[in-house]
Structure 1
Amino acid sequence: MTTPSSHSRLRLAAVLIPSLISVPLVLGFFGSAHPLFDAFAHFRMHLAVLMAISAIPALILGLWREGLMSIVFALTALGTVLIPTPAPSAEGGKEPASNGGLPEFKLMQLNLRYDNRDQSEVIRTIARETPDVITLQEVSDDWRSRLKAVEGRYPHKIVCPSTKRVGGVAILSRRPFALGTTPQCVGNSLMALARIDFGGRSALIASVHLGWPWPFEQAENVEEMQPYLVRLGGPMILAGDFNAAPWSQTIRNLLDASNTHPVDGLRPSWLINGTFAHAARWIGLPIDHVLVSERIAAKSVDSLQPVGSDHLPLLLRFSIEGVDDNGPDEQTVMLRNQEPGTMAGL
Structure 2
Amino acid sequence: MKKLIILFLISITTYAYEGPVRPVTLTNQKSAKLRVMTYNIHHCNPPSAGNNIEVDAIARVINQEKPDLVALQEVDVNTERSGKGVDQANELARLTGMHYFFSKAIDHQGGDYGVAVLSRFPILESVRYTLPVDPAIGGEIRTIAAITVDVAKGKRIVFASTHLDLKEENRTIQSELIIKHFGDSKLPMILAGDFNALPDSKVIQYFDKTFVRSCQECGFTIPVKNPNRVIDFVMYKSGDAFENVSTRVIDEQYASDHLPVVADLTIK
Q: TM-score, normalised by structure 2?
A: 0.70
For residues 121 and 115 of structure 1, what CA distance do their matches in structure 2 show? 8
CA contact (8 A) 2:142 2:165 kept: no
For residues 39 and 231 of structure 2, what CA distance do their matches in structure 1 show? 11
Residue in structure 2 matched with residue 254 of structure 1 by the alignment: 207
CA contact (8 A) 1:210 1:218 kept: yes
- Note if 1:210 corresponds to 2:164: yes
How many pairs does the alignment contain? 209
1:1-346 equivalence runs, <5 A: 101=28, 102-114=31-43, 116-117=45-46, 118-141=54-77, 142=82, 145-152=87-94, 153-163=96-106, 165=108, 167-178=113-124, 182-187=125-130, 188-200=141-153, 201-214=155-168, 217-256=170-209, 259-264=210-215, 265-272=217-224, 277=225, 279-280=226-227, 284-293=228-237, 294=239, 295-306=241-252, 307-321=254-268
Alignment CA distance shift 1:244-1:112 (3 Å): same
Alignment CA distance shift 1:224-1:124 (3 Å): same
* Structure 2 SS opposite 1:151: helix
CA contact (8 A) 1:171 1:207 kept: yes
Alignment CA distance shift 1:254-1:312 (3 Å): same
For structure 1, the residue ranges without an aligned partner over 5 or more in a row are 1-98, 322-346
CA contact (8 A) 1:299 1:316 kept: yes
For residues 66 and 92 of structure 2, what CA distance do their matches in structure 1 show? 11
Residue 226 of structure 1 deviates from its aligned partner by: 2.8
Which range is displaced more, 185-194 or 167-176? 185-194
CA contact (8 A) 1:208 1:241 kept: yes
Structure having the larger proportion of residues in helix: 1
Structure having the larger proportion of residues in strand: 2
Q: TM-score, normalised by structure 1?
A: 0.55
Higher relative contact order (CA 8 A, sep 6+): 2
Higher Rg of the two aligned structures: 1
Alignment CA distance shift 1:135-1:115 (3 Å): closer
Alignment CA distance shift 1:177-1:250 (3 Å): same
For residues 97 and 156 of structure 2, what CA distance do their matches in structure 1 show? 17
For structure 2, the residue ranges without an aligned partner over 5 or more in a row are 1-25, 47-53, 131-140
CA contact (8 A) 1:245 1:287 kept: yes
Residue 195 of structure 1 deviates from its aligned partner by: 1.3
CA contact (8 A) 2:195 2:232 kept: yes
User: % of aligned pairs identical?
Assistant: 24
